[in-house]
Amino acid sequence: MIEQFGQRLQAKMAVQGQLCVGIDPHPELLLKWGLGDDVVALKRFSHGILDAVADLVPVIKPQVALFERFGSAGIAVLEELLAAARAAGVLTIADAKRGDIGSTMAAYASAWLDDASPLVADAVTLSPYLGFGSLRPALELAERTGRGVFVLALTSNPEGASVQHTGATEPSGSVAAGIVREASAENARVLGQGAGWGSTGLVVGATVEDTLEALEIDLTTLRGPILAPGLGAQGATGADLRRVFGAAYPQVLATSSRGIAAAGPNQAALREATERTLADL
């Protein structure tokens, strides 16, 4: 029987903590490392971070768009990075935010969740805004291959509220609340009366402040992981996360990208920044 992503993630977080290191090769970060804005720099940057943190954290999260901008050569670097993380025993979340319908969604799922794909990751981020049901090909493939998904639910960007908060005064609640219900139902279906986490996670921004309470969203019903970007450079601290997520905090996998990468390229400095962030969590 295949061990599911939620179980693997929960076990690794129990040992290594709640930090996911984002690998986001922004041009300004490459420059800060004394590198050019090219594929050679992309590889040095991404592998440099992985090498520094591989034994410290349970998960890395490469931002797919920042590899795609280099075309096929950038995708090749991403493939190498995912394979290297797998060899090092580090879980990977491809931050691709894919979302479509029918055969197109099935193709996205195959790219990121199929054993045969060179881009296969342990999990992928998905956008549910063509309807949660449109994600079914990815949910089904993830279940078959023991992988996971993180579905956008409540993001910190100001524009997100125009969609995610819609319906807050209706009996069924906001769009975000509906996504949480759907993800919770998916995990309940898979887990039944069993213990542990399901493999359908949510993306909830670390800086959403009091929005969860205002929208009457209870994340403890999820029975799965919560990916929370915004730690470090975007301003959130461990104390903020404990306050925002409350009883659901043990489910939180907090992401720091620039806050750690800015310490590079020195490996010792990258490790120190990572250890400091882990301690804050």
37, 119 contact by CB (below 8 A): no
Model pLDDT, residue 24? 98
Model pLDDT, residue 234? 76
What are the Cα distances from residue 33, in Å, to 76, 89, 275? 21, 26, 20
39 vs 272: CA distance, rounded Å: 27
Model pLDDT, residue 232? 79
Tens place of pLDDT per residue across the chain (281 aa): 789 999 999 999 999 999 999 999 999 999 999 999 999 999 999 999 999 999 999 999 999 999 999 999 999 999 999 999 999 999 999 999 999 999 999 999 999 999 999 999 999 999 999 999 999 999 999 999 999 999 999 998 889 999 999 999 999 999 999 999 999 999 999 999 888 999 999 999 998 889 999 999 999 999 999 999 998 777 889 999 999 999 999 999 999 999 999 999 999 999 999 999 999 99
31 vs 29: CA distance, rounded Å: 5
Rg for the chain (alpha carbons), in Å?
18
Domains along the chain with CATH numbers:
5-280 (3.20.20.70)
- The pair of three-digit structure tokens given for residue 197, joined into one six-digit string: 């986490």
Residue 97 annotated in active site: yes
Q: What is the pTM of this model?
A: 0.97
- Catalytic annotation, pick one of 12, 43, 61, 97: 97
DSSP letter (8 states) at residue 232: S
